[in-house]
Amino acid sequence: MDALKLIAQDSMKKDVPQFSVGDTIKVHVLIKEGEKSRIQVFEGTVIAKKHGGISETFTVRRVAHGCGIERVFPLHSPVVEKVEVVRYGKVRRAKLYYLRDRVGKAAKVKEALK
């Protein structure tokens, strides 16, 4: 088991910023289309973080054209180029799934003063 942990620690990214549930972040994702590749930015609110270590994932939600979009990103994946924190949110829950049912101002998260 210790050998697996060592291998997992070697493949983990070192430059991941500290963010938590409720924060608004920009995720730079590497998209491959045929032979070409480009970086697409997905900005939204973090509504969940799961697991830990090498298998850590986070779910980002945004509303585009009146339709809610959620994407789950593996934190240490080579597809995720960079994660930027836009603003820190003040929440009292570990999962913000209740935001799915809310629209407009009710779906906003208060900003934390840091």
Domain coordinates in residue numbering, the chain: 2-107
Query: Quick one: what percent of the chain has pLDDT higher than 70?
Result: 99
Q: Which CATH class is domain 2-107?
A: mainly beta
> In terms of pLDDT, which residue wins out, 110 or 114?
110
pLDDT of residue 23: 97
pLDDT of residue 15: 85
pLDDT of residue 113: 85
pLDDT digits (tens, 9 = 90+) for 60-89: 999 999 999 999 999 999 999 999 999 999
Asked if residues 63 and 107 have their Cβ atoms less than 8 Å apart, the reply is yes
Indicate yes or no: pTM above 0.85. yes
Q: Cα-flanking dihedrals φ and ψ of residue 100, to 5°?
A: -65, -30
Buried b (16+ CB within 10 A) or exposed e, 67-99: eeeeeebebbeeebeebeeeebbebeeeebeeb
Average pLDDT over residues 80-104: 95
Gap between the Cα atoms of 84 and 48, Å rounded: 17
